[in-house]
Structure 1
Amino acid sequence: MAYPGFEDISEEIQLAPNFTNVTSNGSTCITDSRVNQVLFPLLYMVIFLVGSVMNGLAIRIFFQIPSKSNFIIFLKNSVISDSLMIVTFPFKILSDSRFAPWLFRAFVCQVTSVIFYFTMYISILFLGLITIDRYLKTVRPFKPSKPRNLLYAKIISVAIWIIMFCLSLPNMIFTNKKPTPKNVKKCAFLKSEFGLVWHEIINFICQFIFWINLAIIIVCYVLITKELYKSFKRTKSVRKKSQKTVNMKVFIVIAVFFTCFVPFHFARVPYTLSQTRDVFQCSTQKTLFYLKESTLWLASLNACLNPLIYFFLCNSFKTSLLDMLNRCPVTSSKRAKNKKYSENNSEQISM
């Protein structure tokens, strides 16, 4: 029986050539190994490469930006969470593509898959906090951040990391059975009896975290939309177009949240039923498996989409990034060549 929650990122992919699920009548349900071992590892490789570059730049920039607002504090925690998630991708790629020995999969079950889900729900929590902060900024756009509020934001951030770590650590500790080529096929087989119970508890907690943050984000954006509409009616289109564009950029947070996390959590419920109960035909099981893996990839895509939030909503980040790109030797050289080319064209026109 597979237990949902902080399970291995792809716990149903076994060491056999294909994913095999045995039904109650003894028949097997096998998925295409080309998808399991080639397509999904390639997709995660893309996220790993793009995410490493984008989050590497984000970390470098945020180290130069002072924590002068709650928003920047939450963004800094978000980029740390995304960077930790990206670190887990090579382990998943090696495990799923079967390039690593079977013993490597035990490490994936015990450590990296737990870190993956640990960082996923930290990202969800900080997106919720960012949404609340954007709502307050929309209602009170000119209210400065007080030192006391910044202290509270730091305390909340540290509390989130500590609580989520304490919830996740037992999943590492109680995945403590001796690995064998047989029991590494599913991470649940490596867990102790208490580990399986804790596994289920964590699943309910994670579901609670997601649905609460989903409710917060929906309510906040309904209120933000009302505020923007009221502002639009008051100004009667007098405000400049550029100012309206800036206001609309706030919706990028809800776009990222719904793109990355909502599909996975809706697909997870029927997928879990297909793994714990023999109520679906093989064709349905295959569909749910691919749906779960595809939506999990979308959840991982969060590591690449969050930098868009930093760029469009954080002026300090945007300014620092543009300054860094302007100081880049390649960019400077190209700009100089373009300037020289323009000067030559001007001289030819004047002649």
Structure 2
Amino acid sequence: MDELFGTDGLDYLDYLLNKYNESENTTDPTYVVEKPVFFCPAKAVNEFGAKFIPFFYYSIFLLGYFGNGLVLFTLYMYEKLQTVTNIFLLNLVISNLLFASALPFLAIYHSSEWIFGGFMCKVVSSAFSIGYYSSILFLTLMTFDRYLAVVHAIAAAKSRKRLYAVISSIVVWFISVVASMKEIILHGVWKSPFDGLMCKETGYSEEILETWRLVTYYQQFLVFFLLPLFMVMYCYASITVRILATRLKEKCRTIKLIFVIIFTFFACWTPFNVVNLLRAIQLSYGDKSDGPCPVQDSLDFAYYVTRNLAYLYCGISPVLYSFVGKKFQSHFKRLIGKHVPCVKRRLSLSSHTTRTTSQATTPNSAYE
């Protein structure tokens, strides 16, 4: 070695070795911790997601398209988009169809990896998020509109015009787009050494991404759950009091329908948002690696299950909000009666009996 490099050569070789060692030692001392770090592989959770989530997504997609398509077809055949209720209902159907359109892509993604490219990653994520948020807001808006129509019928008759419905719908879509900025800006495709191609937040530091996730969690809980829940409960409580004060013969049936709507909303949305809040608290005050794996796995399992329950509500909500009314029930019977002769005869007899026995309805009722 002396002959090859000489004394100066050996000094230069030591210099290169020192530089190499310095370059290899890239550990940031601020990340060095003097405590055990738990690593949870989440194998069982990932296997559960890969097996069952695609099935749930395909099911919700089919149910959503069938239910919303039925409402849309009924609106097209028998209704006109002149009333406030029908404008809101149309927008609700569009938001649910937008939401459901993303589910087949996400089902394939959960079963393997993201295979649709970067552009579709942003499109699918944004469509899913915008449809999801707008669906919640339109449900809340329809509830508030029913409250105005029943509790403040005289005052609402002047303000509940087509322009009011159009402007309200534009505001809802605008809020939904703003709330989905994380998906529009941050989502992209990157390759994970463990899971392949991923369609997730990327392009920024982990600190920025974590802040965006926290904003999304708290936004979901406060703006898209707690506020709508309070509004729905207040509006339907006021409607119930108003109906009890009337002489409506079918008040018991109407109150039962109100109870079904509130219970379904609460049962579908509460578990998911409670889990979302727990995830936000965990992210705010501790890292996933700070606790035992069974606790983390339980939270992940709960997130998957409750999320699908909440997504299911987006599929059934238009049917629940439209076909509980007598008018849409009548339209649906006419639609079925056109294609099934025996049903048509039964429907004609029952409608004749109904007309001759009772004509009692409540003016301005949203449940006719």
Question: Scaled by the length of structure 2, what TM-score is found?
Answer: 0.71
**Does residue 130 of structure 2 align to residue 118 of structure 1?**
yes
Q: Matched residue of 1:80: which SS?
A: helix
Shift of 1:136: 2.4
2:275, 2:302 within 8 Å by CA — same for their partners in 1?
A: yes
Is this contact kept in 2: 1:103–1:180, CA < 8 A? no
* Distance change (3 Å), C-alpha of 1:69 and 1:269: same
Instruction: Provide the alpha-carbon RMSD of the alignment.
Output: 3.3
Q: Which moved more, 1:144-153 or 1:315-324?
A: 144-153
Cα deviation code 1:144-202 (max 9, x no counterpart)? 844763211210101211232244245323335x6224486665552435666555444
DSSP 3-state at the match of 1:312: coil
2:341 aligned with 1:332, yes or no? yes
- Structure 2 residue 34 is the aligned partner of structure 1 residue 25: no
Post-superposition shift, 1:69? 2.9
The answer on whether the counterparts of 1:69 and 1:145 sit within 8 Å (CA) in structure 2 is: no
The partner residue of 1:283 within 278, 294, 297 is 294
Q: 2:144 and 2:343 mapped to 1: Cα distance?
A: 42
Q: Residue type of the partner of 1:28?
A: P
The residue matched to 1:28 in structure 2 has which SS?
A: coil
**CA 1:107/1:293 → structure 2, altered by over 3 Å: closer, same or farther?**
farther
Q: Structure 1 residue 73 and structure 2 residue 87: aligned?
A: yes
**Does residue 301 of the first structure (1) align with residue 309 of the second (2)?**
no
Higher relative CO (Cα under 8 Å, sequence separation at least 6) belongs to: 1
Q: How many angstroms apart in 1 are the aligned matches of 2:81 and 2:74? A: 12
Matches of residues 15-164 of structure 1 in structure 2 within 5 Å?
Answer: 24-26=37-39, 28-64=41-77, 65-98=79-112, 101-104=113-116, 109-140=121-152, 145-146=157-158, 149-164=161-176
Task: Determine the C-alpha separation between the residues in 1 that align with 2:169 and 2:278.
Answer: 33
Alignment partners' CA distance in 2, 1:186 and 1:259:
32
Amino acid at match of 1:253: I
Q: Are the equivalent residues in 2 in contact too, given 1:102–1:181 (CA < 8 A)?
A: no
Matching residue's letter, 1:216: M
- For residue 204 of structure 1, report the CA deviation from its aligned partner: 3.8
Residue type of the alignment partner of 2:92: S
1:306-321 aligned within 5 A: 306=317, 307-313=319-325, 315-321=326-332
Whether 1:216 aligns to 2:231 is yes
Matched, 1:262 2:270: yes
Contact 2:96 2:314 in 1 (8 A): yes
Q: How far apart are 1:60 and its partner, in Å?
A: 1.6
Is 2:307 aligned against 1:292? Answer: no
Is residue 37–residue 289 contact of structure 2 (8 Å, CA) maintained in 1?
Answer: yes
Q: SS of the counterpart of 2:180?
A: helix
How many angstroms apart in 2 are the aligned matches of 1:215 and 1:162?
A: 22
Matched residues in 1 for 2:200 and 2:223: separation?
A: 22
- The amino acid across from 1:257 in the alignment is F
- In the aligned structure 2, how far is the partner of 1:108 from the partner of 1:31? 29
Aligned identity (percent) is 25
Q: Is the 2:114–2:199 Cα contact (8 Å) retained in structure 1?
A: no
Amino acid at match of 1:129: L
Report deviation, 1:107: 6.0
Change (3 A) 1:335 1:229: closer
Contact 2:132–2:314 under 8 Å retained in 1 = no
Tell me the residue number matched to 2:11.
none
Query: Cα offset for 1:45?
Result: 1.9
The answer to whether the 8 Å contact 2:240/2:255 transfers is no
SS for the counterpart of 2:147 is helix
Cα 1:199–1:106 change in 2 (3 A) is farther
Give, in whole Å, the separation in 1 of the partners of 2:154 and 2:342: 40
Q: Residues of 2 paired with 1:147 and 1:141: CA distance?
A: 10
Alpha-carbon distance in structure 2 between the residues aligned to 1:310 and 1:267? 30
1:192, 1:123 → 2: CA distance? Answer: 30
Q: Does 1:271 align with 2:279?
A: yes
CA pair 203-287 structure 1, distance change in 2 beyond 3 A: closer
Cα deviation for residue 66 of structure 1 reads: 1.5
Task: Name which of 242, 248, 265 aligns with 1:227.
Answer: 242
- CA distance 1:33–1:261, shift in 2 (3 Å): same
Q: Aligned with 1:179: secondary structure?
A: strand
Which of 1 and 2 has greater Rg?
A: 2
Contact 1:59 1:79 in 2 (8 A): yes
Alpha-carbon offset, residue 135 of structure 1 = 1.9
**SS of 1:269 mapped into structure 2:** helix
Deviation at 1:63, TM superposition (A): 2.8
The 8 Å contact of residues 125 and 209 in structure 1, kept in 2 or not, is answered as no
Matched residue, 2:202: 190
